[in-house]
């Protein structure tokens, strides 16, 4: 039995998802016989709480800014505490979509064409021919993302909102029509499966990801086996190109008309909620939720 701190909640817009993920993981760890302490890093006092807890390992169930971008990993490195998922550098790289794309390009992975812009510049006029996608450069869970369709008069007016909270840099990318696909990778096991995500709204936004009935998942995806193999190898290559550890999930677009795939991003701490994709893929290959959580904990180490 280990003494495990589960970090959950946090400060990012993905806080509600992290609370659900973290509590699910904490319950699984308790069922596995571990002593579990939950800490919600809403203020600087969490570091003192963590020191007082003196855990054998930290299970990081935070999502998004501060929890998934290398900053929390840096604190855990400083404290020399074993922790789950990816280390400081790979977490920071994965969260910065533009920098991770540079790593993926060097690794020869298939990508959508795009460019990094200040959000106000992206709002002045169409930065590329529609359709295209505008997304915050350093956010997750599809927050702050807009699809600009053909015929749109101008870029999204939300980019001009003085209360915009998703950072000043946005990534503008060509929109690739077709299927939304995702692949989970376990560090020592490789890719698990390919899931097609079919949103019940216009696209796979935050609500479609995390609301009950917001989307349905088809596993395995209804695609040619050669394409599935290509996606799984690309997900593994992306995981290793960034130097990731633990579990990651790589998101893709696939246009069957042009037989083209594009890697969109790697999630270094994918969701562990009841509707999350990684637990679903683990179940597909015969691994229960508790077994998955147990594997993630056993994989914890320092330094990462």
Candidates 267, 280, 289, 299; catalytic one = 267
Active site annotation includes 14: yes
Active site annotation includes 141: yes
Active site annotation includes 210: yes
Active site annotation includes 98: no
Report the alpha-carbon distance of residue 250 to residue 237 in Å, rounded.
10
Closest CA to 293 of 10, 55, 6, 46: 6
Report the alpha-carbon distance of residue 32 to residue 35 in Å, rounded.
9
Candidates 14, 40, 65, 68; catalytic one = 14
Give Cβ neighbours of residue 36 (< 8 Å, ≥ 6 apart): 4, 5, 6, 26, 29, 30
Candidates 271, 276, 289, 294; catalytic one = 271
Active site annotation includes 87: no
Candidates 15, 119, 245, 249; catalytic one = 249
**187 neighbors 299 (Cβ within 8 angstroms):** yes
Candidates 38, 40, 96, 265; catalytic one = 265
Report the alpha-carbon distance of residue 202 to residue 196 in Å, rounded.
15
Active site annotation includes 249: yes
Candidates 68, 205, 251, 299; catalytic one = 251
Active site annotation includes 174: no
Active site annotation includes 77: no
298: enclosing H helix or E strand: helix 289-298
Candidates 90, 141, 142, 276; catalytic one = 141
**Which of the residues are catalytic?**
14, 141, 210, 249, 251, 265, 267, 271
């Amino acid at each position: 039995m280990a003494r495990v701190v589960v970090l959950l909640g946090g400060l990012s817009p993905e806080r509600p998802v992290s609370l659900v993920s973290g509590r699910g993981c904490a319950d699984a760890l308790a069922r596995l016989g571990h002593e579990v302490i939950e800490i919600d890093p809403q203020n600087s006092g969490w570091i003192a709480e963590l020191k007082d807890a003196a855990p054998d390992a930290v299970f990081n169930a935070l999502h998004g800014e501060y929890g998934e971008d290398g900053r929390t990993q840096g604190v855990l490195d400083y404290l020399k505490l074993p922790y789950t998922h990816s280390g400081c550098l790979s977490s920071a790289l994965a969260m910065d979509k533009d920098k991770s794309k540079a790593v993926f390009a060097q690794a020869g992975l298939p990508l959508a064409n795009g460019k990094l812009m200040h959000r106000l510049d992206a709002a002045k006029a169409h930065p590329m021919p529609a359709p295209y996608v505008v997304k915050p450069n350093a956010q997750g869970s599809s927050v702050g993302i807009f699809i600009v369709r053909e015929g749109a008069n101008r870029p999204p007016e939300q980019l001009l909102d003085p209360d915009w909270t998703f950072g000043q840099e946005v990534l503008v990318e060509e929109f690739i029509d077709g299927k939304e696909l995702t692949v989970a990778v376990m560090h020592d096991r490789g890719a698990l499966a390919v899931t097609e995500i079919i949103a019940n709204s216009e696209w796979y936004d935050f609500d479609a990801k995390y609301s009950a009935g917001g989307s349905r998942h088809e596993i395995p995806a209804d695609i040619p086996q050669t394409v599935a193999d290509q996606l799984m190898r690309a997900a593994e290559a992306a995981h290793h190109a960034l130097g990731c550890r633990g579990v990651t999930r790589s998101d893709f677009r696939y246009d069957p008309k042009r037989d083209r795939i594009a890697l969109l991003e790697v999630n270094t701490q994918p969701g562990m909620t009841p509707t999350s994709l990684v637990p679903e893929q683990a179940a597909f290959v015969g691994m229960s939720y508790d077994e998955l959580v147990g594997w993630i904990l056993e994989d914890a180490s320092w330094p990462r």
